[in-house]
Amino acid sequence: MKTGGKTSPLKPGERERSLAIALAFCLVDVLLMGTAAFHSNSLTILSDFLKELGDTTAVLAAFITVRAVRRAPSHRFTYGIGKLENLVSMSIVVLMTGAAIAIAVQAFYHFRHPVIPHGTVPGIFIFAVYAFIAFSISLRNHRLLKSQHSPIIASQAKLWFSKGSFDALMALSLTVALICRDQAWSLYLDPLASLVGVAFMLHSAWAIATESVGDLLDVALGETMQMRILRCLAERFDDYDLLHKIRTRRSGPRVYVELFLEFDPKQTMEEVRERIERIRFSVADAMPGADITVTPSNETPLPS
Amino acid sequence: MQMTHRQEGEFLVITPSGRMDALVSQQLEEAVNKLLQDGSGSIVFDCSDISYASSATLRVFLAAAKRAKTRGSHCRFASLTKPLQELFEISGFNNVLEIHEGLESALA
């Protein structure tokens, strides 16, 4: 549900904007695939429609939640309601899993009682267009990779290639089923392809669930973020005496960083405060929008 | 994780080896803290056998270097493996920590 990703800290406004754009694309997608599914009895198209519907609901819920979370913490929820996003994500996981099970049951029913798919041409067309777009983006990313090394672009290239492959496979299976509709074996292509769609739905649900459960259990930030914090602490090496602990967590769109540092006891409060501010600003610069606390401490804190 | 340590003159040489993930780093931190509490001399981390280091390992290194500096001793890092060298560059550790190409120069 987090379109911002684990390693790219977006400011609240940017995140809301990117979610709004993603939502617009998802709605167009659902509308097209929904129309195709309505005019067809194909399980493949229905499974893709349900998958897109799940993704769109996830983005919509994220958008609404981000707007709700943006509100200042109330006296009742003094840390805000960031976890609401994770709770909504978990509900979507349940819905997506339910839809996947329903499609799988239908697919097995169609294996036992084959039906001739009809009205699949709009679906084939949509899948083909999506495959073309996804492969074009993947190819563009691959070309970019030749001129500059970037793990983000590399992962995007892989992502779009896998999306393109999925859409191409769906288009191919529906086309073959349409062309060879007189052959008995072609009747099994539609339920078979829908099971591939089910696998993708379950994969999406799993990705959302693992991220949300991690956030609910206050899992520490990923390695990239941790490296940024360490870089700041290396840059401000002379501003503190001892490094006791770094504690990080995420609550919805917000990132929290707690640094437990020991300072020279001979320094005045004013000097320590200035050093704390320097460290805090350095980390805030590296992680825009993060909530950073520097706690003067003379021992490693116990897990809370 | 395997970790050995030995005294070489005024230096305590600590040799962690293998894959240093978050869980292993916790064991390393406990072991290093215990060693640093017991002694007051300088330390050298022989990093020649580290195949992978997580950010948690780097934090242990940074904390050990800070502890050594605060008490006026040395904390040196010798024989960094290629992946570790890259991590030290990314995290900016190469600008603040005492890094030596080999163990001999670190002990000099």
Residue A72 contacts B, CB cutoff 8 Å: no
**Minimum distance, in Å, between the CA of residue A107 and any CA atom of chain B:** 43
Pairing of strands B2-8, B11-20: antiparallel
Higher pLDDT pick, B98 / B38: B98
Q: Quick one: pLDDT band at residue A1, thresholds 50, 70, 90?
A: very low
Q: What per-residue confidence (pLDDT) applies to A210?
A: 87
CB-CB under 8 Å, A241 with B91: no
Residues 6+ apart with CB under 8 A from B83: B50, B51, B52, B53
Q: Map residue B13 onto helix, strand or coil.
A: strand
Residues 6+ apart with CB under 8 A from B67: A242, B36, B75
Looking at A14-23, A40-49, A247-256, which range is the least confident one?
A14-23
CA triple A229-A292-A242, angle to 5 deg? 60
Residues 6+ apart with CB under 8 A from A168: A127, A128, A131, A135
How far apart are alpha carbons B100 and A234 in whole angstroms? 18
Q: Quick one: pLDDT band at residue A5, thresholds 50, 70, 90?
A: very low
CATH at residue B44: 3.30.750.24
The pTM score is: 0.68
CB-CB under 8 Å, A227 with B63: no
Residue from A219, A228, A236, A243 whose CB has the most chain B CBs within 10 Å, to mutate: A243
How far apart are alpha carbons A201 and A103 in whole angstroms? 10
CA A132 to chain centre: 23
Report how far apart the first and last C-alpha atoms of chain A are (Å, whole number): 27
3-state secondary structure A256-287: EEEEEEECCCCCCHHHHHHHHHHHHHHHHHHC
Indicate if ipTM > 0.85. yes
Tens digit of pLDDT for each residue in A49-101? 988 888 788 788 778 877 776 665 677 777 777 777 788 888 888 888 988 89
**Minimum distance, in Å, between the CA of residue A58 and any CA atom of chain B:** 31
Q: What per-residue confidence (pLDDT) applies to A197?
A: 83
Higher pLDDT pick, B84 / A3: B84
Across A239-253, average pLDDT: 88
Q: Residues A248, A226: contact at Cβ < 8 Å? A: yes
Residue B72 contacts A, CB cutoff 8 Å: no
Mean pLDDT over each residue of chain A, to the nearest integer: 84
- Find the domain containing B85 and state its range: 2-107
Which CATH superfamily groups domain A223-296? Cation efflux protein, cytoplasmic domain (3.30.70.1350)
Pairing of strands B11-20, A242-251: unpaired
Option in B22, B54, B92 nearest A235 (CB): B92
**Minimum distance, in Å, between the CA of residue B98 and any CA atom of chain A:** 12
Q: Quick one: pLDDT band at residue B39, thresholds 50, 70, 90?
A: low
Q: Quick one: pLDDT band at residue A147, thresholds 50, 70, 90?
A: confident
CATH class of domain segment(s) A12-216: mainly alpha
Looking at A156-165, A266-275, A276-285, B63-72, which range is the least confident one?
A156-165
Nearest residue of chain B to residue A240 (CA atoms) = B66
Report residue A89 as tokens. Answer: 């994500």
Residue A195 contacts B, CB cutoff 8 Å: no
Look at the alpha carbons of A247, B38, B105, A240 in this order and tell me if their dihedral is positive or negative. Answer: positive
Looking at A30-34, B24-28, B87-91, which range is the least confident one?
B24-28
Residue from B55, B69, B93, B94 whose CB has the most chain A CBs within 10 Å, to mutate: B55
Report residue A303 as tokens. Answer: 């897990």
Q: Decide if pLDDT at A159 tops 80.
A: no
**Minimum distance, in Å, between the CA of residue A245 and any CA atom of chain B:** 8
SS3 content of chain A, % helix, strand, coil (to 5): 70, 10, 25
Q: How many CB atoms lie within 10 A of CB A302?
A: 6
Q: Which residues of B touch A233 (CB under 8 A)?
A: 62
Residues 6+ apart with CB under 8 A from A239: A275, A278, A279
The DSSP secondary-structure symbol of B80 reads -
How far apart are alpha carbons B99 and B59 in whole angstroms? 16
Q: Residues A225, A255: contact at Cβ < 8 Å? A: yes
Residue from A7, A219, A237 whose CB has the most chain B CBs within 10 Å, to mutate: A237
How far apart are alpha carbons A197 and A107 in whole angstroms? 11
Q: Which residues of A touch B54 (CB under 8 A)?
A: 223
Cα–Cα distance list, A181 to A40, A47, A173, A187 (Å): 15, 21, 12, 7
Tens digit of pLDDT for each residue in B58-104? 999 999 999 888 888 899 999 999 889 999 999 999 999 999 999 99
**Minimum distance, in Å, between the CA of residue A11 and any CA atom of chain B:** 23
Q: Which residues of A touch B58 (CB under 8 A)?
A: 227, 230
Residues 6+ apart with CB under 8 A from A221: A6, A248, A249, A250, A255, A257
Higher pLDDT pick, B76 / A158: B76
Higher pLDDT pick, A220 / A230: A230
How far apart are alpha carbons A34 and A126 in whole angstroms? 11
Across B13-38, average pLDDT: 85
> With 0-12 CB in 10 A as exposed, 13-18 as middle and 19+ as buried, what is A105?
exposed
Residue A66 contacts B, CB cutoff 8 Å: no
Helix axes A269-286, A223-235, angle to 10 degrees: 140
CB-CB under 8 Å, B66 with A241: yes
Option in A220, A230, A240 nearest B91 (CB): A230
Residue from B21, B73, B90, B91 whose CB has the most chain A CBs within 10 Å, to mutate: B91
Q: Which of A78-92, A109-123, A197-211 has the highest mean pLDDT?
A: A109-123
Residues 6+ apart with CB under 8 A from A73: A79, A80, A81
Q: Residues B19, B54: contact at Cβ < 8 Å? A: no
> With 0-12 CB in 10 A as exposed, 13-18 as middle and 19+ as buried, what is A173?
buried
How far apart are alpha carbons A141 and A145 in whole angstroms? 6
How many structural domains compose chain B?
1
